[in-house]
Structure 1
Amino acid sequence: MSVLVRHRGPARPRTRLVCFPHAGAPPGFFTAWGAGLPAHTEVLTARYPGSPAEGAALGDVAALAAAALDALAPRPTHLFGHSMGALVAYETARRLRRPPARLYVSACDAPPVGRAPVDVSGDDALLGELRRIGGTDPGLLGDEAALAALLPRIRHHFDLLNGYAFSSGPPLTCPVTAFHAHQDTEATADAVGRWREVTAAGFDLRGFPGDHFYLVAQRDQLLAEIGTRLDAPAADWQLAP
């Protein structure tokens, strides 16, 4: 399994953005993001395991992602995670040999808040959860053949999330930018704002119109927010020749 998928790689990138998707996200969810970011930005997505054999805990996924990033040419690396992806991005940042330039977390309560597990043990329960939170193509939810192939992978992603427990430790040394949506019932502004507790560097909070999947309708505005931060000075990084 390839841990990182490269969507765009300029010949001489100056910065790198690594995207960590929500549970059950399609592989190409972030493919189009490169067009909305500065041309010198390399864009990658972390690919999650599809079964316990490939990664049984969220920390395992983060360790794989960190090892894959540590093996790349050094350059200022920004991590963006949406929903469950915010937790994976955060745990990846904690494991990197060199701190990221910035961590962006989206539509996710801060780790110290915690969350109640979601019952996805049966197909009906899992489909009900997907319908409740939105963000999944209704046509897919009615395609029995596609669901038979996809539901085991999606269930494993929810199992990773259900099994996650925050453990305190040294704060991050990179700044954190948190995004939330005004009508999001899954992650409130107050709970998202508590991401400030996990970093010893700067923190800012930005709100958008919309629900838990605001980043679809508000993609251009979100990418503009990220793009303005990609060129901020990043300590302890040396660009590869």
Structure 2
Amino acid sequence: MPQAAEQLQKWVRRSHPAPKAKARLVCLPHAGGSASFYFPVSKALAPAVEVLAIQYPGRQDRRHEPNIPSIPDMADQIFAAVRPLDDRPLALFGHSMGAVLAYEVALRMQDAGLSSPVRLFTSGRRAPSCRRDERIPVESDEQLVAELRKLSGTDATMLADPELLEMIMPAIRSDYDAVLSYQYEPGRKLDCPVTVLTGDSDPRVTVDEAAAWEHHTTGPTDLHVLPGGHFYLVDQNERVIELLAERLVPRDAAAPPGPRGLTSARSASP
């Protein structure tokens, strides 16, 4: 198998192939998250938009692969995986850690002289230029579990199950290490439109920090503040999917509404 095809197969999950879709949407999960988080979104947007969910190593069908505790290294590999997908307009959506990765992948597309994403969707993450002196105490597993409980990002039954915790903790810890060590490179800007989504009571993102994404592109930016915390997009799934469809599909080409929703099986992310 050619290297590009192998990279695509390793990183991308296509739950609802849509060969006649007007656009593709690459979705990048939060810390500790997996491609299955976006299965309902894929189902809802098909066949007008083909959703390609990124599967990070260290979880689900890639659970035996080593985790990658580095945003730049992950972005390099994700970019290599999606690079061949240039036959149709391509957009990027990322939640929390996924927003940072989506931004870095978009920069790599631009640097390589490829067509920029038709739109970047950032969700549940402050703009890269908004640095916080944020010392999240996650040195021990107990501290990390307390952080997960605080963000309400992981099913309480999972956090109470020692065997499940043993399975998911390495991926979550690796992702936290990646995000907390990420260094934004000042002066670099995208040239694509950016749609910013955030919850009005997210403890990790203020509305001003979300709005600051406008400083990271020369294109237009629109901000949407929805009710909820860090995982507002689960409870507000219908509105989120409507926003995606409104910006990716011409009104006359939109598919009839299908089953909607973001899966509630999730892990919290910084």
Could you tell me the TM-score, scaled by structure 2's length? 0.81
Q: Distance in 2 between matches of 1:85 and 1:117?
A: 20
1:63-212 to 2 correspondences below 5 Å: 63-96=76-109, 97-115=114-132, 116-212=134-230
**Structure 1 range deviating more: 89-98 or 38-47:** 38-47
Give the SS at the match of 1:89. Answer: helix
d(CA) in 2 for partners of 1:56 and 1:144? 23
C-alpha distance in 2 between matches for 1:231 and 1:29: 22
AA aligned opposite 1:127: V
Equivalents in 1 of 2:68, 2:156: separation in Å?
29
Distance 2:220 2:168 in 1: 39
Which one of the candidate residues 224, 237, 242 is aligned to 1:224? 242
Question: Would the aligned equivalents of 2:30 and 2:97 in 1 still touch at CA under 8 Å?
Answer: yes
Q: How many residues align?
A: 232
Distance 2:119 2:234 in 1: 22
Of 35, 38, 55, the residue aligned with 1:30 is: 38
**SS of equivalent residue, structure 1 residue 187:** coil
- Tell me if the contact between 2:67 and 2:174 (Cα under 8 Å) persists in the aligned partners: no
Partner SS state of residue 14, structure 2: strand
State the secondary structure of the residue aligned to 1:29.
helix
2-structure distance, mates of 1:150, 1:56: 15
User: Following the alignment from structure 1 to structure 2, what is the Cα–Cα distance between the partners of residues 142 and 75?
Assistant: 44
Contact 2:71–2:101 (CA under 8 A) maintained in structure 1: yes
Q: Per-residue displacement from partner, 1:120-166 (whole Å, max 9, x unpaired)?
A: 22111111111111121111111111111110111001010011010
Structure 2: stretches of 5+ with no match in the other structure: 1-6, 59-63, 251-270
Per the alignment, do residues 133 and 15 of structure 1 end up closer, same or farther by CA in structure 2, a change over 3 Å counting?
same
The Cα offsets for residues 70-127 of structure 1, whole Å up to 9 and x where unpaired, read as 1225211110111111101100100013310100001111000023242322111111
Alignment counterpart, residue 24 of structure 2, candidates 6, 16, 23? 16
Matched letter for residue 130 of structure 2: V
Distance 1:197 1:206 in 2: 16
TM-score by length of 1: 0.90
Aligned-partner Cα distance in 1 for 2:50–2:126: 28
Asked whether the equivalents of residues 37 and 224 of structure 1 are also in contact (C-alpha less than 8 Å), the reply is no
Equivalent position of 1:43 in the other structure: 51
Compared with structure 1, are the counterparts of its residues 52 and 189 closer, same or farther at alpha carbon in structure 2 (3 Å cutoff)?
A: farther
